[in-house]
Structure 1
């Protein structure tokens, strides 16, 4: 009878740890401790984009083949870049954000269309997420997960330590 309780407790603990642990995407090397985004994510050749970083404790360097290198100074959250006039419509360009020793990438698409934009006109794009895996993840989630794991472990410990009733020996 004791073996059944121990096995049940072990399975319950394993299930709880599996369900409460954060999931990682296999092969996703774009996970950083800082957030980053390009707004808009689709822009016309010659247009302007805003390069934003969150939680970067260093000056952030932003590079791409479609605009000159840009530095977001320490303490600031964004900077702007002007896309080259000769950027190929429909092309997808990689934008690399570097904060200290970490780097992450996102894509910037050059818009296709029949007409040219007049100077000063901005193309509105889809608002991008925070980049990386930090979106929506905070200390509260970690605390709740820790409490759940501790509760499962405590319950499993109590079940394994419970003594059989004297009438069922």
Structure 2
């Protein structure tokens, strides 16, 4: 009787571990840990700010110069020079031909002589903001059958975990059947 309790406890513990493991580690498709919720942080120096820190070609960035008491300009080879009023911010659109994965330097110049630079990383595909002209309404087509996202790429650890669970279940069933058969012969 103790063996059955121990086997069921072990089986339940293994199942709980297998179910909790995917929630404990969140990994993106490229093998890098997934970013935390809230998006990418802004990059800043002591007097200059770029947000977001990583942008796709064609994306928009917000530039500000809180360290400047006067008008500032921001320039880079991947967008037109932008003038920033004191105490405010300005936006710029990154050129579509910006090289993916590259890091560009954005130079800031204050009218009072303060200068500095902040790096901007280019990545991903082009971004677009939906407008009334670009929004397309699609009539409802009903439920789309199929796998519905129930499959994804299975790595070696997932396959090993699933195989181990199947082996434990088969072993448990075989053990219980054998014990019942042995108990039936004694009476």
- TM-score between both structures, scaled by the size of structure 2: 0.42
Higher relative contact order (CA 8 A, sep 6+): 1
Q: Which has the higher strand share?
A: 1
